[in-house]
Structure 1
Amino acid sequence: MPNEKSKSLIPPSAIVEVDIREDEEQAVKFNEIVDLLVAAGYFRARIKGISNFDKVIGGMTWCIESCNFDVDVDLLFHENLTIGQKISLTEKIVAMLPKMNCPHRIEPHQIQGLDCIHIFPVIQWLVKRSMETRKDNASFVRAFALSQFDKLYSSKNNEHSMKDEQMKNIEANIQSVKQSYGPKRKFKRAGEAPKDEIARVKSTLLEYGILPIGNIVSSVSDSGENENVNIQDTTEINNELIKDQGQVVHLDEERLSASAVGNIVGLQAQEIVQVSELYASLSVDSSNSTNESRILSALEKQQSTLQKRINKLKMEHDTLTEQYNNQIEKMKKTNEKKQIIEDEFLRMKEMETPENKGMLAKLEELLAVHSGLKNQEHKFREQCKIDLVNLQNLVENIETCDPQEKENQIAEYDSLKESINKTRLLLAKKNRAIASLTRKLDDVPGRSELTQYQRRFMELYNQVSAKHKETKQYYTLYNTLDDTKLYLSKELSLLNSIQENYNEAMASASGKEQFLKQFEAIIAGIKRNKDMVETRCAEEKDKRFKLNKQLVTLVEQQRKYVAAVRQLTIECRKNEALLAQLRAT
């Protein structure tokens, strides 16, 4: 046949038989691959409308992308790829597996031919690596969510420890404030100290820059030593003390220390009124003395300043009180929300079981992602506000510019727009040319595509040849059986005629002689047919011998051809290596 002759002329090296074992073992391995991908989370593997190749290659691409491995390879996968895209994708995957330290090796044609026995260990390793990567990411996200939760909320267990830490911080701040704002001595006594205890105390306070008015009296009266001393007597003592130490203690008329202001603010309103009346009476009585008038005028200035200070401090006190109340309300609401959240958290902990533990972990991951998205949204809103302000300022600057500048800007804008349009047209023209060249390049098949086409044609040729051989065997069997049937029918008819004529022929001697002559003629015809068949058989044997001899000759030529092709391939590789060295130099 012509097909057999053409097949015999093709060398064995050009006939590539892809190892596709369409048996039960392949089907079992494919089902295990699908089950493994579905268990790992690639649920598209169980969709019946997707082809087997898309399921396997899609699962491998998904596993590689979920491993977070930094490789400069574009693993773009979508369903119903062309042959060139499938070949390119499988070659990229095969080249990427050694970079990921995969212990299993696989060839692109094994993936394209769905050799599930060799694909299964690779899928198994990729799924294991993907699960480990996802577990590490889940632990990191969980730790991040817990840290964010601890920053915003606190549980009852660490509430006491936080209070202790806050108390320690407050005590440390108080100590630092005391050290920074402690009492400092400003003046020094020149003469002897007064004998009176109250005068001695007040003179000591004056040395530290504090003007005592009424506090010492109240403290002394509390101690029970001088119960008959009143505010008026205390004021007179202060005046005498200032007169006695006028040359030693330098009192600033225009400035009052912070401690004196604090003492005066602590006075009661009634005492302030009494002191003001006392100062007014003293100012009338002591008009003859210059020192007394100077002191009274200073005290009046201090009184007015202190009154203003008191009013201001009262307003600040009211404001701070209102803020404090608001903060207390906010704190109560926050504590209520905190208690609700803690109750919900405890209830969620009670609801946690081994069955829904994975679901709860997934919810925690989603909450962490939600908080991250909220932060991103907040940052995005802030950036949008900043951009809006910048654009508004830019619009204001544009509106406030001169008309001549606007015209220049409009003309410049038109020229730039025209140049951009020209550039776009040139770019579109270049893109069309590039697209046309790309289509032409795509129309020309590459070496890998040609190899794939050759493999597919060889597979198709093998199938057609096997079918043709099977059909030819059926025809030969049919012809043989038909000839056998013909001979058997002739033999049966001959035996029937002999049986029918035997009795008549044996009845007479002439009939018997005629019957024997006919029988001899039949035997001679059978011998002639036998000789013809034997002659034909001998011719067929000679023809088979010649064909076998021709086959041996062609096999020897094929062997020489294969050796020559192998040697040519080695020489071509050497040539390419030498050309690469020449280009490098």
Structure 2
Amino acid sequence: MEDSKSENSLGLIFDLLNSAGYVDATKSNVPSAEKLAGGLAWCIAALNPSDPRIGSVTGDVECIEEALELVGCPHPLKPSHIHHLDGEFIFPVIKWLVDRVQLKHEVGGNKATDSENPVGEDEHTRQQHKRDVEETEISTKMLSGDLDELKLRKVNVMNKLEDLRERISNKAADAAVQKLVMLLKSLRDLERQESHFLSYRDAKHSEIQAEISELEGKIENGCDSKILLDGLHHSFSESLRKLDSAKKELAAKMSDVIAIKRQIDDLPCQPEVVQYEQRLSELYALIQGRHRQTRKCYATYNALLEIKELMTKEASLLNSIISQFQEAFSSPDGRMKLIKSMEGIVKGGQQKLEKVQIGLQEEERNLDDVKKRYAAAVGSQKRCYSLMKAFQEEVAMKDKPACQIPTTEC
């Protein structure tokens, strides 16, 4: 399939060369690579024969590559493309060259026709304008073709850029790309700082060299030693002042650096954060245990307090019965009051018992719900264990060599 496709593309290429006027394109006894090289050289020479660098192009593929760059071909072409008959790269180059050769032939034909038919001055001017218009139209067509090619190349570049972005996003390399961009920005900043420092250094070096030259000139000219000493003292004092100023500035910057370091030291590092997290987890577990213990103590206290109240009521009731029993049985009215009182006590006890039974039933229902959830959790755990065991057995079977797996054919 690829061979037939390559042959078709080569056939189209040779047809284009033949249509442009390259007669050797139809020769079957010449190798395809030589015909391609010759056709390219012929087209390049036809475009600009006056240029000695282009007019002397032969079938050498290296010269053809350089000549294509000279004529401004927008399509890249390597010697390997010609040797391997790569039609994907050769066809756009041939198409571009043939179009321009044909346009050049049309312009040359129009000029030759005008030169063969001499006319008057007005007619000559009109024909000259006509030729200018035709040349302008041809140039416009060429520029339009170049613009279309540039648009096509732009679309291809945008597609490649989009593919690259998709590959970056698919490989989850966004963080790495952002980090690389940040590093490149940092590199540019460092280069800018380096250039500023070098310029400052050169300026200071030039200034110091100028001062040295000035002092040497004064010494050679026999300047007064007192004036020279005064100048040296002044320069020395100025240097000391600059040194003190630089030291103060350095001390201020060092204090800022120390303050920033202290702020950085105040921030916990990763091991400290992990240790804090562990300690907080332990503290949370301890608080939960104490909370459960406290709730249990409160529940016990409330139960004992309720028992105490019931026992106190029972004791007071018994004391009341004992103290009023003899007096109540001495008269019929007393006996009736005692009986009614006992009935009220029994009724209150029954009501209390009913409340306790209702609470007990509620607790039993809660207990049943908890038992059901526990049974469901145990069943889920058993199923999980069985599935895990089956999965491990399946993995073990997969890990065994194929020869050890029993089959029906064996």
Between Structure 1 and Structure 2, the one with more helix by share is 2
- Same topology, TM > 0.5: no
Larger Rg: 1
Give me the TM-score of the superposition, normalised by structure 1.
Answer: 0.23
